[in-house]
Amino acid sequence: MSVICKLAASILSADIASIGQSVKEAVSAGVEYIHVDVMDGVFVDNITFGLPIVRAVRAATDAVVDVHLMIIHPSQYVGQFADAGADIVNFHLEAAGDPREIASVIREHGKSPAITINPWTSIKDVVPYLDAVDMVLVMSVNPGFGGQKFLPQSLKRAEQIKNYISQNNLKTQIEMDGGITAKNVRDIINAGADIVVCGSSVFGADSVCGAVKEFRQIFAGALAE
């Protein structure tokens, strides 16, 4: 199995007062993606960031800006988030009217579309759209908050999606988000995740640099196999 192993740091756990500095620190420590969790208080029970934070993150780094929209009516906003500086725009299948249409709007804005599924959404529901997006984000907690416990059934879900992708010769990458730590990340990579999102285990760590180093050592082990 080919492994990719990229680390996406979620700014949900970062110091927002100095967001530019937090982003720069994570990227210089070795994080490849900066993950921005946009929550509207309707699709999930929490409200976080909007377009100005995406612009601030974009201004701070050349790393991949990975925006995760936990909002209703994503079709109304994906273009604005693309223009604000997202490289990847994730929208939830559960909130999407026509996922193919939303993906094509994101592509028209020159950015990469990704579709996200909640832990209780059937894999069967996302499979028809995997060819329309560059990435599928498999939630491994219920979306809305950082610091939750990883749902172990997420491993099997990643494996099922990975099998479908390989059997159908697709290039869709798999991202996993929620409850990921240095203790469980190896199992998550083995299950087929290409990119892992870490909030509390990176920005919430005593040392961002030390935490990223630990993840990278685990990745090096997986890549060497």
Which residues are catalytic, by number?
37, 177
Binding at 199: pick from ligand DX5, Zn ion, none (beta carbon under 5-8 Å per type):
ligand DX5
Q: Is residue 144 near ligand DX5 by the rule CB under 6 A?
A: yes
Cα separation of 219 and 197, whole Å? 14
Q: Is 203 exposed, middle or buried (0-12, 13-18, 19+ CB in 10 A)?
A: buried
Nearer to ligand DX5, 141 or 189 (CB): 141
Q: Is residue 194 near Zn ion by the rule CB under 5 A?
A: no
* Helix, strand, coil percentages, rounded to 5, for the chain: 45, 20, 35
Nearer to Zn ion, 88 or 189 (CB): 88
**What residues have CB less than 8 Å from 166, skipping those under 6 apart?**
none
Do the Cβ atoms of 94 and 118 come closer than 8 Å?
yes
Query: CB of 78: closest distance to ligand DX5 in angstroms?
Result: 17
Binding at 200: pick from ligand DX5, Zn ion, none (beta carbon under 5-8 Å per type):
ligand DX5
Query: CB of 31: closest distance to ligand DX5 in angstroms?
Result: 13
Q: Enumerate binding residues for Zn ion (CB under 5 A).
A: 37, 68, 177
Query: Where do contacts with ligand DX5 occur on this chain (CB under 6 A)?
Result: 10, 12-13, 35, 37, 68, 141, 143-144, 146-148, 177-180, 197-201
